[in-house]
């Protein structure tokens, strides 16, 4: 329970710079009197709501709260206790102040003002502006009675009264968590798409690398087989050339013996020619000479003829021999010429062999290079780029697996959050609790109505829609009633909320402020009945009844505060 002790203020509304202090827990009943416009409502209603919630009770802007003459240092302090803890909220405009003290120590203020206010409402007061005004204040002006609140606002008030706002708070937290989860899943989906794209790029890359490798191996193999073919052909050619050369060399072996033969034949020819010439000389000697020039002995014709015949036949022999040898020499010479031809051929053949050999040599070198390249292509070392890419692919795939697992986890969490969300929804636990309390609420409302002499059957349903049945009138709604009757319904509702709040120890306070409730709407009978109600309110309640028609009431209150306007400022008289 919140027990309000006092409210202090200055330069607030019609009040001036001299501080005003109003004790809130000294008397069970206080009549707040004073003429119209003398500052009663500022002092009791606006000061407290501004202090606690940062907004006035009446519908004006915050700057309009600053006293219009002094124009600054508008300042309010509200003192209250909850359990053993004493609190004080300081709030000011020009300069702006918002401080909460717990047991005289300032509560850490490093959060934003909005969060600081939320902390005050959710963690300390456990009430918001709407609930506070519904259980503490019943006003004539600018007060929206429960029955005129929207369904959502009615729900808020009842949730505060039943202290089940926590489920709504949990639901808010849950919703933001669910939306975070959704974002996380979205992000994961993005990551997954990205991962998929990357995998396909890397897979393509691997494919291309393998293809390129295979193409290169294929072209190397083709090149190698062409080169091998060339080598084989060249080797065949070489072996032919070698055989030819062998043959030529074989033939060439005869050349030396032919040359010797020629020499011999030429010597023989010389000898034959000499002999022939000598024969011719001697023939001409005998033909020309009749006697011997040396011994002068006559050469007889018979001798002569005999000798000439012999010489002639020798000469003939020599001539035949000379012709023979000439033919022989010619033959040998022809053969030698032929062999010279062959020797040229042989040297041509030799150079062809050399060419072929060097061709084979370089082809072999090339083939060796190709083979080595091929070998290196198929060794693991050369596959390193493919290997590395494959490793990359593995990493990406395992990343994908992790992402999928994470997504599944998030999905499961989402399902859980959904279940919890269903429990926390308005139709979940809360509706069960509200349904549980509705009969009590209706009972209390009808009891307070009866206490005020208003005999009607008031019924609030689960959606906080009312039906009110009174005699001869079927199913009237709130708006069907007169102002006085409405006021009684408002009062009955407020008292019912207070009673339930007391039972639940939730939005329970010692303070009840009724602003000009009696002045216009409650007739004299109602007033009587209400005064009865006052007496049955719990001993812990401190009631402030604001009225400008104080005369008839004054003897019914323990205490009276009167506001007056002196000069331009309001004050307590
Ligand atoms: N910012 C302000 N500065 C000074 N006076 C103001 C300011 N705002 C309103 N007032 C005056 O305060 C009076 C209203 O006080 P209020 O508390 O409503 O009176 P009551 O409830 O006693 O009838 C009016 O006379 C109004 O002109
Ligand atoms: Mg007033």
Q: For 479-518, how does the pLDDT look when each residue is reduced to its tens digit (9 = 90+)?
A: 888 877 888 888 888 888 888 887 876 778 999 998 887 7
Task: Report the alpha-carbon distance of residue 401 to residue 521 in Å, rounded.
Answer: 73
Domain match, 371 and 228 both:
yes
Q: What is the pLDDT of residue 83?
A: 93
Domain match, 256 and 357 both:
yes
In this structure, is residue 488 part of a structural domain? no
Per the prediction, the chain carries an average pLDDT of: 88
Domain match, 376 and 249 both:
yes
Q: What is the pLDDT of residue 522?
A: 56
Domain match, 201 and 111 both:
no
User: Relative to the alpha carbon of 62, which ligand is closest?
Assistant: 1
Q: Which two tokens stand for residue 550?
A: 């104080």
Domain match, 360 and 297 both:
yes
Domain match, 329 and 198 both:
yes
Q: What is the number of the ligand 1 atom nearest to the C-alpha of 35?
A: 22
Is the pLDDT at 382 greater than 60, yes or no? no
Q: Which of 386, 404, 421 is where one domain is finished?
A: 386
Residue 194 belongs to domain with CATH number: 1.10.287
Residue 511 belongs to domain with CATH number: 3.40.50.300
Q: How many A from CA of 37 to the centre of ligand 1? A: 5
Residue by residue, DSSP assigns 32-57 as EEE-TTSSHHIIIIIHHHHHHHSS-S
Q: How many A from CA of 280 to the centre of ligand 2? A: 187
When mean pLDDT is compared across 146-150, 292-296, 420-424, 471-475, the lowest value belongs to 471-475
CA contacts within 13 A on the Cβ side of 366? 18
Label residue 551 by pLDDT band (50, 70, 90): low
Task: Report the alpha-carbon distance of residue 50 to residue 27 in Å, rounded.
Answer: 23
Q: What is the pLDDT of residue 505?
A: 67
Q: Is the peptide bond before 15 cis (omega within 30 degrees of 0)?
A: no
Nearest CA to ligand 1 atom 19: 37
Helix-strand-coil percent breakdown of the chain, rounded to 5? 65, 15, 20
Residue by residue, DSSP assigns 85-153 as EEEEEEEEETTTEEEEEETTEE----S-HHHHHHHIIIIII---HHHHHHHHEEESSS---GGGS-HHH
User: Relative to the alpha carbon of 516, which ligand is closest?
Assistant: 2
Nearest CA to ligand 1 atom 5: 14
User: Relative to the alpha carbon of 11, which ligand is closest?
Assistant: 1
Q: Are the beta carbons of 458 and 468 closer than 8 angstroms? A: yes
In this structure, is residue 459 part of a structural domain? no
Instruction: Identify how many contiguous H helices and E strands the chain contains and give both numbers.
Output: 13, 15
* Average of per-residue pLDDT across 237-266: 91
Q: How many A from CA of 523 to the centre of ligand 1? A: 27
Q: What is the pLDDT of residue 157?
A: 83
Q: Which of 386, 421, 442 is where one domain is finished?
A: 386
Residue of 140, 158, 160 lying closest to 149 (CA atoms): 158
Q: Are the beta carbons of 373 and 365 closer than 8 angstroms? A: no
Q: How many A from CA of 515 to the centre of ligand 2? A: 7
In this structure, is residue 170 part of a structural domain? no
* Average of per-residue pLDDT across 1-12: 97
Order of all β-strands in the sheet with 85-93: 20-23, 2-10, 74-82, 85-93, 97-102, 105-106
Task: Report the alpha-carbon distance of residue 479 to residue 461 in Å, rounded.
Answer: 17
Nearest CA to ligand 1 atom 10: 14
Domain match, 330 and 209 both:
yes
Is the pLDDT at 17 greater than 90, yes or no? yes
- Ligand 1 pocket list (CB less than 6 A): 13-14, 34, 36-42, 64, 66-68, 563
Quickly tell me which residue has 């193999």 as its tokens: 221
Domain match, 14 and 145 both:
yes
Q: How many A from CA of 573 to the centre of ligand 1? A: 16
Task: Report the alpha-carbon distance of residue 21 to residue 7 in Å, rounded.
Answer: 6
Nearest CA to ligand 1 atom 13: 37
Q: How many domains does the chain have?
A: 2
Q: What sign does the dihedral 179-184-185-186 (CA atoms) show? A: positive
- Give the list of residues 6+ apart from residue 9 with CB closer than 8 angstroms, or none: 15, 19, 20, 43, 47, 51, 75, 76, 77
Q: What is the pLDDT of residue 529?
A: 67
Q: How many A from CA of 516 to the centre of ligand 2? A: 7
In this structure, is residue 304 part of a structural domain? yes
Question: Phi and psi (nearest 5°) for 39?
Answer: 105, 15
- Give the list of residues 6+ apart from residue 374 with CB closer than 8 angstroms, or none: 217, 220, 221, 224
Task: Report the alpha-carbon distance of residue 495 to residue 119 in Å, rounded.
Answer: 27
Label residue 521 by pLDDT band (50, 70, 90): low
Q: Which of 14, 57, 76 to mutate to test the pocket of ligand 1 (most atoms within 8 A of CB)?
A: 14
Task: Report the alpha-carbon distance of residue 299 to residue 315 in Å, rounded.
Answer: 21
Cα diameter, the chain: 224
Domain interval for residue 314:
187-386
Q: Which of 386, 408, 437 is where one domain is finished?
A: 386
User: Relative to the alpha carbon of 563, which ligand is closest?
Assistant: 1
Domain match, 195 and 315 both:
yes
Q: How many A from CA of 566 to the centre of ligand 1? A: 13
Quickly tell me which residue has 């010439």 as its tokens: 277
Q: Which two tokens stand for residue 415?
A: 């399902």
In this structure, is residue 263 part of a structural domain? yes
- Give the list of residues 6+ apart from residue 406 with CB closer than 8 angstroms, or none: 188
* Average of per-residue pLDDT across 166-188: 88
pLDDT in tens, 63-122: 999 999 999 999 999 999 999 999 999 999 999 999 999 999 999 887 688 899 999 998
pTM of the model: 0.61
* Residue bearing the bigger pLDDT, 275 or 143: 275
Domain match, 111 and 197 both:
no
Q: What is the number of the ligand 1 atom nearest to the C-alpha of 516?
A: 21
In this structure, is residue 230 part of a structural domain? yes
Q: What is the pLDDT of residue 307?
A: 85
User: Relative to the alpha carbon of 37, which ligand is closest?
Assistant: 1
Domain match, 210 and 356 both:
yes
* Residue bearing the bigger pLDDT, 244 or 386: 244
In this structure, is residue 118 part of a structural domain? yes
Q: Which two tokens stand for residue 363?
A: 């082809």
pLDDT in tens, 439-480: 999 999 999 888 877 888 889 888 888 888 876 666 677 888
Residue of 196, 3, 187 lying closest to 86 (CA atoms): 3
Question: How far does CA 65 lie from the centroid of its chain?
Answer: 50
Is the pLDDT at 142 greater than 80, yes or no? no
* Average of per-residue pLDDT across 208-214: 86
Q: How many A from CA of 172 to the centre of ligand 1? A: 39
User: Relative to the alpha carbon of 13, which ligand is closest?
Assistant: 1
Q: Which of 9, 12, 13, 568 to mutate to test the pocket of ligand 1 (most atoms within 8 A of CB)?
A: 13
Nearest CA to ligand 1 atom 14: 37
Q: Which of 36, 39, 520 to mutate to test the pocket of ligand 1 (most atoms within 8 A of CB)?
A: 39
Percent of the chain having pLDDT more than 70? 95
In this structure, is residue 465 part of a structural domain? no
Q: How many A from CA of 565 to the centre of ligand 2? A: 13
CA angle 21, 498, 488 (to 5 degrees): 95
Task: Report the alpha-carbon distance of residue 49 to residue 9 in Å, rounded.
Answer: 12
Domain match, 94 and 204 both:
no
> 551-563 in b/e burial notation, b at 16+ Cβ within 10 A?
eebeeebeebbbb
Task: Report the alpha-carbon distance of residue 321 to residue 334 in Å, rounded.
Answer: 20
Task: Report the alpha-carbon distance of residue 506 to residue 127 in Å, rounded.
Answer: 8
Q: How many A from CA of 511 to the centre of ligand 2? A: 18
Residue of 486, 543, 537 lying closest to 146 (CA atoms): 486
Do strands 105-106 and 542-547 pair parallel, antiparallel, or not at all (unpaired)?
A: unpaired
When mean pLDDT is compared across 215-229, 246-260, 299-313, 370-384, the lowest value belongs to 370-384
């Amino acid at each position: 329970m919140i027990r309000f002790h006092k409210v202090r203020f200055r330069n607030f509304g019609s009040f001036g710079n001299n501080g005003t202090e109003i004790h809130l827990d000294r008397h069970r009943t206080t009549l707040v009197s004073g003429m119209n416009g003398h500052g009663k409502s500022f002092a009791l209603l606006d000061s407290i709501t501004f202090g606690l919630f940062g907004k006035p009770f009446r519908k004006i802007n915050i700057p309009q709260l600053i006293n219009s003459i002094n124009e600054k240092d508008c300042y309010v302090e509200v003192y209250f206790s909850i359990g053993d803890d004493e609190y004080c909220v300081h709030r000011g405009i020009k300069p702006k102040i918002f401080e909460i003290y717990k047991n005289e120590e300032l509560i850490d203020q490093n959060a934003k003002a909005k969060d600081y206010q939320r902390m005050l409402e959710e963690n300390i007061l456990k009430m918001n502006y709407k609930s506070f005004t519904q259980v503490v204040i019943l006003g004539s002006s600018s007060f929206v009675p429960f029955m005129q609140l929207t369904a959502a606002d009615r729900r808020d008030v009842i949730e505060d009264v039943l202290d089940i706002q926590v489920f709504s708070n949990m639901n808010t937290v849950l919703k933001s968590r669910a939306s975070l989860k959704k974002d996380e899943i979205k992000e994961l989906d993005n990551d997954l798409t990205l991962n998929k794209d990357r995998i396909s790029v890397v897979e393509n890359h691997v494919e291309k690398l393998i293809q390129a490798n295979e193409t290169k191996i294929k072209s190397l193999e083709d090149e190698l087989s062409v080169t091998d073919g060339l080598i084989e052909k060249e080797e065949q050619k070489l072996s032919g050339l070698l055989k030819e050369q062998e043959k030529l060399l074989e033939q060439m072996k005869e050349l030396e013996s032919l040359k010797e033969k020629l020499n011999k034949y030429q010597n023989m020819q010389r000898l034959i020619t000499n002999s022939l010439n000598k024969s011719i000389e001697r023939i001409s000697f005998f033909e020309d000479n009749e006697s011997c020039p040396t011994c002068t002995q006559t050469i007889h014709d018979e001798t002569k003829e005999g000798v000439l015949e012999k010489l002639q036949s020798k000469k003939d022999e020599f001539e035949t021999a000379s012709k023979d040898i000439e033919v022989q020499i010619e033959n040998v010479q022809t053969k030698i010429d032929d062999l010279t031809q062959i020797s040229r051929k042989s040297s041509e053949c030799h150079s062809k062999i050399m060419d072929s050999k060097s061709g084979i040599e370089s082809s072999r070198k090339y083939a060796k290079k190709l083979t080595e390249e091929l070998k290196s292509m198929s060794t693991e070392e050369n596959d390193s780029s493919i290997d590395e890419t494959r490793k990359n692919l593995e990493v990406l795939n395992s990343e994908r697996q992790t992402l999928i697992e994470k997504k599944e986890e998030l999905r499961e969490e989402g399902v859980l959050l959904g279940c919890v969300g269903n429990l926390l929804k308005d139709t979940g636990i809360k509706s069960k609790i509200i349904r549980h309390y509705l009969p009590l609420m209706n009972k209390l409302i009808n009891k307070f109505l009866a206490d005020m002499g208003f005999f009607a059957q008031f019924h609030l349903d689960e959606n906080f829609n009312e039906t009110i049945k009174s005699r001869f009138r079927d199913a009237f709604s709130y708006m069907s009633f007169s102002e006085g009757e409405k006021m009684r319904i408002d009062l009955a509702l407020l008292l019912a909320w207070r009673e339930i709040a007391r039972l639940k120890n939730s939005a329970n306070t010692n303070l009840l402020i009724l602003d000009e409730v009696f002045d216009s709407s409650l007739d004299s009978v109602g007033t009587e009945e209400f005064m009865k109600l006052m007496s049955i309110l719990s001993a812990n309640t401190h009631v402030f009844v604001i009225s400008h028609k104080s005369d008839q009431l004054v003897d019914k209150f323990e205490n009276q505060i009167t506001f007056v306007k002196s000069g331009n400022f309001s004050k307590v008289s």
